[in-house]
Amino acid sequence: MGKYIVKRILITIPVLLMVTVFCFIIVNLAPGDPTDLYISENATEQQIAQMRSSLGIDQPFPIQYFKWLLNLVQGNLGFSFASRLPVIDVLPTKIIATVTLMASTLLVSYLLAIPLGIISARKQNGFVDNLITGVSFLGISIPNFFFGLALIYIFALQLGVLPTGGMETLGGSGGLVDRMQHLILPTIVLAAFYCSNMIRYVRASMIDIFAENYMRTATAKGLKETLILWGHGVRNAWVPIITVISTDIPKMLGGAIVTEQIFQWPGIGQWMISAINARDYPVLMAINLVAAVSVLVFNLLADLLYAAVDPRIRY
């Protein structure tokens, strides 16, 4: 197992480098010049050249990339074009905000999805199964921006029981209760999709498991239904479920962009929209790096969990 982990880590290094090269090219080839946003229309050629030099974009792409890579190795992600603050100083606060939203979303999603998926599989083609399946298709189909605006209109504007957005009340104490209230609506919006998606996977996995011979053998032996379900059924269904979870977590970084923008949640998603509008290359590269690392890390964790839940898998 140790050799396998080392091998996977060594493989991820060139993959990560290729991802950063691709992202750097795409970001720098985007239409527009950052200097247009930070200098007046009447600026002279000399002033424009000075601004480009101060932003570090006056040199060819390969030189810019290798300078960025050298700074990255030293723990420096550059300065934000918009705020002129070190990206490495701002990034942790944005990650914490997004991770908080992701954690609450995943907790709600999987606590609901796993039992509902099992119930749906047990009641296959019955009323309960059709009801759960229908609601899950609705949760997958409804757009985040529409659902989010609908919840704001109902619970914030009409009922006035929840805040419209932000992470805490401006001028308030910023305590746990206040943050939990701000977390409810964006969590519901994100959980609607991820819970519905997981229900479908759990249902399909459990239907396949229930048809296996060892499940019928366990029933014929007179084992308790709960032991058969959790000891033989759910345990063997974990491999596809882990696969979905390992893809959901990195995907949520992108899926949270719309939700964070709607609810003005100060996480990576909202920061990315601001960086795109400001052509803030260092911020965009930092966000792309975080997304790439999260994908590689959770894919590795998924492979390790496969061996933990299924003894037949060996590395």
DSSP per-residue codes, 165-211: SSSS-TTS---HHHHHHHHHHHHHHHHHHHHHHHHHHHHHHHHHHHT
Is-contact 239 248, C-beta < 8 A?
Answer: no
pTM, full prediction: 0.83
The SS3 call for residue 128 is: helix
H or E segment to which residue 257 belongs:
helix 238-262
Q: Is pLDDT at 1 greater than 70 in this prediction? A: no
Q: Where are the domains of the chain?
A: 2-73, 88-309
184 Cβ contact list (under 8 Å, min separation 6): 162
The SS3 call for residue 82 is: coil
Q: Is pLDDT at 255 greater than 70 in this prediction? A: no
Q: Is pLDDT at 232 greater than 80 in this prediction? A: no
The overall average pLDDT reported for the chain is 84
Share of the chain above pLDDT 90, in %: 14
What is the Cα–Cα distance from 274 to 268, expressed in whole angstroms?
A: 10
Helix axes 176-210, 238-262, angle to 10 degrees: 150
What is the Cα–Cα distance from 184 to 107, expressed in whole angstroms?
A: 12
Q: Is pLDDT at 8 greater than 90 in this prediction? A: no
CA dihedral 299, 305, 309, 310 (to 10 degrees): 60
Closest CA relative to residue 266, chosen from 92, 98, 18, 55: 98
Say what the pLDDT of residue 301 is: 83
Residues present in the chain in total: 315
Say what the pLDDT of residue 189 is: 92
Token pair of 219, please?
A: 């029933």
Q: What contacts 24+ positions apart, CB below 8 Å, involve 82-91? A: 82/274, 82/275, 82/278, 82/280, 82/283, 87/282, 87/283, 87/286, 88/286, 90/271, 91/286, 91/290
Say what the pLDDT of residue 5 is: 77
Say what the pLDDT of residue 174 is: 66
What is the Cα–Cα distance from 55 to 82, expressed in whole angstroms?
A: 10
79 bridge partner residues: 86
Say what the pLDDT of residue 9 is: 80
Q: What contacts 24+ positions apart, CB below 8 Å, involve 245-249? A: 245/106, 245/110, 245/198, 245/302, 246/298, 246/299, 246/301, 246/302, 246/305, 247/298, 248/106, 248/194, 248/197, 248/198, 249/102, 249/106, 249/294, 249/298
Is the backbone of residue 63 left (phi > 0), alpha (psi -120 to 50) or beta? Answer: alpha
pLDDT tens, residue by residue, 118-175: 889 888 888 999 999 999 989 888 888 889 999 999 998 998 888 888 888 776 666 7
Question: What's the CATH fold of domain 88-309?
Answer: MetI-like fold (1.10.3720)
The SS3 call for residue 86 is: strand
Say what the pLDDT of residue 314 is: 66
Q: Is pLDDT at 211 greater than 90 in this prediction? A: no
Say what the pLDDT of residue 244 is: 81
Say what the pLDDT of residue 172 is: 64
Say what the pLDDT of residue 112 is: 92
Say what the pLDDT of residue 131 is: 93
